[in-house]
Structure 1
């Protein structure tokens, strides 16, 4: 084997290793917001569950909610072929939400396959509405358990550390953005709608003004044409 062939073979092996390692690193349970997850507000998030096995299917997902920053409102969206259960736990310190004392909060969400599975080479998303998000935290860590139909359980519970390599079984992490000042779901949408309405009104006013200017200009041009016609007729008569 010549030098060129050896270099090409080494490069191919290295590229294959990168592809395999990349697939392994990113094929884990994660959480992503649908839009923005702002501190002190409400957000809808997706728990994304890929199937990592070639000979088994995922049949259960258990997500543990943070206990140090509890949320009073946790509402899963129905997913066809799956049942969902939300467990609650007593709080060591009651929450004050809209003037009401909350003594217990959701602690775990469990999705169980009921006529559906996540097969090899597939993934499934499980949407959940969360709130009120904490105001004094930059992220939320959700430890998760993924169960396969061969009874294997994968524990996604290792919390990633800033500046450190990603752990082998990282827990899903939801990063929170800066507070927007509107702590209710749909606040940003309402603001955008208000801005759109104002823009439409401004555009309409501008169009009306332009139409008036053009109308006055047309009248002036017409009057000038009539005057010119009268003068021309007088000259011909003379």
Structure 2
């Protein structure tokens, strides 16, 4: 075999291996995911369901995300996505769940986005704020259904494998970590106040808005200014009186 033939064969083998590797890797990169993938137990968090369209000849036009009924979330809200309609479904739980806010008999069980399009080789993120995150589990799984304009439906619903390897159609999974000592599970909400819905405790707690604080500061400054002016006027009056007495004494 000549050197040139050997080189050509080596290039062909390398190209084949590369194509095979990419072919195996691409499906893993194309699944629906949740970002960020971790949050603290007992707190609030804002996540984005990232939906890529790996098809060449169809657009994604519907996304359905299911929420756990074993670990229901008391507070769920969604951020509007331009061009998409969103429907949040609340259902009766199979059995009541006790939380720090009382017994839950209903909870959000599904969120559906429709009416928009994710064109081929593009992706879209759908943001959701949720809490209080459960403290009795280390994962929340969100089975997701992705529909295409051509009629294809892909179910991303496989739970995480015990051996750590990735499933064929993995469901978006949020890993929950113990709350930090300083944050007590509320770190995500503190980092992004606009993402966290108001809680009964937050509604009851008094607060001073920046405008009120500015008004209070302005009123305090005005009072000090008026008080200083009054003191100065008093001093001037005393001095004038003393000078008047002196002049009167000299005249007499």
Interval of TM-score (by shorter of Structure 1 and Structure 2): 0.7 to 0.9
Q: How many residues align?
A: 187
Corresponding residue number in structure 2 for 1:140: 140
Q: Under a length normalisation based on structure 1, what TM-score does the superposition of the two structures give?
A: 0.72
Pairwise CA distance, 1:32? 1.2
- Aligned partners of 1:77 and 1:135: how far apart in 2? 25
Contact map agreement 1:88 1:108 (CA 8 A) in 2 = yes
- Aligned partners of 1:49 and 1:73: how far apart in 2? 23
- Aligned partners of 1:55 and 1:20: how far apart in 2? 18
Contact map agreement 2:43 2:189 (CA 8 A) in 1 = no
Corresponding residue number in structure 2 for 1:81: 83
Residues 12-161 of structure 1 aligned to structure 2 (within 5 Å): 12-33=15-36, 37-113=39-115, 116-161=116-161
- Aligned partners of 2:146 and 2:57: how far apart in 1? 15
Structure 1's unaligned 5+ residue stretches are 191-238
Q: Under a length normalisation based on structure 2, what TM-score does the superposition of the two structures give?
A: 0.69
Q: Cα deviation per residue 1:145-204 (whole Å; 9 max; x = unaligned)?
A: 0011111111111112131532221111111122135344533679xxxxxxxxxxxxxx
Corresponding residue number in structure 2 for 1:5: 8
Pairwise CA distance, 1:132? 0.8
Q: Secondary structure at the match of 1:7?
A: helix
Corresponding residue number in structure 1 for 2:171: 171
Structure 2's unaligned 5+ residue stretches are 194-252
Q: Given the superposition, is the C-alpha separation of residues 37 and 165 from structure 1 closer, same or farther in structure 2, using an over 3 Å criterion?
A: closer
- Superposed structure 1 runs of 4+ greater than 6 Å apart: none
Q: Secondary structure at the match of 1:2?
A: helix
Q: Secondary structure at the match of 1:6?
A: helix
Contact map agreement 1:59 1:118 (CA 8 A) in 2 = yes
Residues 212-223 of structure 1 aligned to structure 2 (within 5 Å): none
